[in-house]
Chains A and B, each alone.
Chain A
Amino acid sequence: MRIRSQLLIVGLSTLALPWAGCQYARELETTLRGSQEQALRASAVTVADALSAEPQRVFRDTSDGAKFDPARGDIYVFPLSRQPLLDGYRDDWSVPQEPLELPQDGGLKTLLQAGATERYLFLYAEVEDAHFEPEPGDVHLSTARFDRDELLVQRPDGSLGSYFFATDAPGLIEGQSFAVADDGSLQAALEPRLQAYWLQTKGGYHLEIRIPLSMVGSRLWLRPLDGLKNPPKWELPAIEHLQGGRLFFASEGLDELLATFVRDGTRATVVDSNGLKFGSAGAFESAAETQQARALSHTWFRSLLDVDDAALPMRAASPDRIEGPEVDAALGGEVGATWLRAGRDRSPLLSVAAPIVVDGVTRGALILEQSGDQLLSLRDHALNRLFYLTGLATAIAVAFVFGFASWIGVRIGRLQAAADAAIGPDGRIGLKMPEADRTDELGSLARSFEGLLARLNEHTQYLRTLGGKLAHELRTPLTIVRSSLDNLESEGLREDQRVFVQRARDGSQRLASILSALGAAARVEESIKQSERVNLDLRELLISAVGGYRSAFPQVRFELQTPQDACFLRGAPDLIVQMLDKLVDNAVDFCPAHGAILIALVRESGDYRLSVGNDGPPIPDALLPRLFESLFEQRPSPGDKPHFGLGLYIVRLIAEFHGGRALAGNRADGDGALFTLVLPSI
Chain B
Amino acid sequence: MKKQIAIVEDEPALRDNYAAALARHGYLIKTYANRNSAMQAFRLRLPDLAIIDISLEDEAEGGFELCRDLRALSAELPIVFLTARDSELDAVSGLRLGADDFLTKDVSLPHLAARVAALFRRIDALRATGTASEILRRGALTIDVERMQTTWQAAAVVLSLTEFWIVHALARNPGHVKNRQQLMDAASVVLDDETITSHIKRVRRKFQAVDAGFDAIQTVYGMGYRWVE
Known: A544-B220, A548-B222, A577-B221. Is A487-B17 also a contact (CB below 8 A)? yes
Residues 101-120 of chain B, each 1 if its beta carbon lies under 8 Å from chain A, else 0: 00001101110000000000
Nearest CB in chain A to that of B25: its residue: A490
- B197-219 with Cβ < 8 A to chain A: 197-198, 201, 219
Residues 65-94 of chain B, each 1 if its beta carbon lies under 8 Å from chain A, else 0: 000000000000000000011111100000
A475 vs B105: C-alpha distance in the bound complex, in angstroms?
A: 8
Known: A490-B21, A523-B192. Is A480-B109 also a contact (CB below 8 A)? no
Known: A546-B222, A577-B222. Is A527-B88 also a contact (CB below 8 A)? yes
Known: A479-B106, A490-B21. Is A544-B222 also a contact (CB below 8 A)? yes
CB pair B14 A479 closer than 8 Å? yes
Chain A residues within an 8 Å CB radius of B44: none
CB pair A526 B17 closer than 8 Å? no
Chain B residues within an 8 Å CB radius of A523: 86-87, 192, 194
Residue A497, interface by CB 8 Å: no
Residue B126, interface by CB 8 Å: no
A639 vs B109: C-alpha distance in the bound complex, in angstroms?
A: 29
Nearest CB in chain A to that of B190: its residue: A512
Residue A516, interface by CB 8 Å: yes
Nearest CB in chain B to that of A483: its residue: B17
A483, A522, A577: the one contacting B18 at CB < 8 Å is A483
Chain A residues within an 8 Å CB radius of B17: 480, 483-484, 486-487
Residue B223, interface by CB 8 Å: yes
Chain B residues within an 8 Å CB radius of A527: 88, 194, 197-198
Chain B residues within an 8 Å CB radius of A546: 222
Chain B residues within an 8 Å CB radius of A544: 220-223
B20, B24, B88, B220: the one contacting A548 at CB < 8 Å is B220
Residue A656, interface by CB 8 Å: no
CB pair B223 A479 closer than 8 Å? no
Residue A472, interface by CB 8 Å: yes
Nearest CB in chain A to that of B20: its residue: A487
Chain B residues within an 8 Å CB radius of A475: 84, 105-106
Interface residues on A, range: 35 or more
- A542-567 with Cβ < 8 A to chain B: 544-549, 551-552
Chain A residues within an 8 Å CB radius of B110: 486, 490
Residue B124, interface by CB 8 Å: no
CB pair A487 B221 closer than 8 Å? no
Residue B11, interface by CB 8 Å: yes
Residue B128, interface by CB 8 Å: no
- A487-509 with Cβ < 8 A to chain B: 487, 490
Residue A7, interface by CB 8 Å: no
- B164-197 with Cβ < 8 A to chain A: 192-194, 197
Known: A547-B222, A548-B220, A574-B197. Is A526-B89 also a contact (CB below 8 A)? yes
A418 vs B97: C-alpha distance in the bound complex, in angstroms?
A: 50
Chain A residues within an 8 Å CB radius of B201: 574
Residue B140, interface by CB 8 Å: no
Nearest CB in chain B to that of A490: its residue: B24
A472, A520, A581: the one contacting B84 at CB < 8 Å is A472
Chain B residues within an 8 Å CB radius of A541: 221
CB pair A482 B108 closer than 8 Å? yes
Residue B13, interface by CB 8 Å: yes
CB pair A530 B89 closer than 8 Å? yes
Chain A residues within an 8 Å CB radius of B21: 483, 486-487, 490
CB pair B105 A490 closer than 8 Å? no
**Closest chain B CB from A205 CB (angstroms):** 144
**Closest chain B CB from A279 CB (angstroms):** 125
Residue A524, interface by CB 8 Å: yes
Interface residues on B, range: 20 to 34
**Closest chain B CB from A236 CB (angstroms):** 156
Residue A297, interface by CB 8 Å: no
A548, A573, A578, A580: the one contacting B194 at CB < 8 Å is A578
With most chain A CB atoms within 10 A of its CB, the pick from B11, B17, B221 is B221
CB pair A552 B219 closer than 8 Å? no
**Closest chain A CB from B51 CB (angstroms):** 13
Known: A526-B89, A530-B88, A530-B198. Is A545-B222 also a contact (CB below 8 A)? yes
A512 vs B84: C-alpha distance in the bound complex, in angstroms?
A: 12
- A510-528 with Cβ < 8 A to chain B: 512, 516, 520, 522-524, 526-527
Residue A476, interface by CB 8 Å: yes
CB pair A486 B194 closer than 8 Å? no
**Closest chain A CB from B211 CB (angstroms):** 18
Chain B residues within an 8 Å CB radius of A549: 222
- A245-289 with Cβ < 8 A to chain B: none
Residues 39-69 of chain B, each 1 if its beta carbon lies under 8 Å from chain A, else 0: 0000000000000000000000000000000
**Closest chain A CB from B166 CB (angstroms):** 15
A512, A526, A573, A574: the one contacting B106 at CB < 8 Å is A512
Known: A490-B24, A526-B89, A530-B89. Is A483-B14 also a contact (CB below 8 A)? yes
CB pair A486 B109 closer than 8 Å? yes
A552 vs B179: C-alpha distance in the bound complex, in angstroms?
A: 11
Chain A residues within an 8 Å CB radius of B198: 527, 530
CB pair B221 A545 closer than 8 Å? yes
A486 vs B219: C-alpha distance in the bound complex, in angstroms?
A: 35
Residues 235-247 of chain A, each 1 if its beta carbon lies under 8 Å from chain B, else 0: 0000000000000
Chain A residues within an 8 Å CB radius of B192: 516, 520, 523
- The chain A residues found within 8 Å of chain B, CB to CB, are 472, 475-476, 479-480, 482-484, 486-487, 490, 512, 516, 520, 522-524, 526-527, 530, 541, 544-549, 551-552, 573-574, 577-578, 580-581
Q: List 21 A-B contacts (CB under 8 A).
A: A475-B84, A476-B84, A476-B105, A479-B106, A483-B17, A484-B13, A486-B108, A490-B109, A516-B192, A520-B192, A522-B87, A524-B194, A526-B89, A530-B89, A530-B198, A573-B219, A574-B201, A577-B221, A578-B194, A580-B222, A581-B222
10 A-B pairs with the lowest CB-CB distances in the bound complex, closest first: A548-B222, A486-B109, A545-B222, A483-B17, A545-B221, A479-B105, A548-B223, A544-B221, A475-B84, A480-B13
A520-B192, A545-B222, A546-B222 given; 11 more Cβ-contact pairs under 8 Å: A475-B105, A479-B84, A480-B14, A483-B109, A486-B17, A512-B106, A516-B192, A530-B88, A577-B222, A580-B222, A581-B222
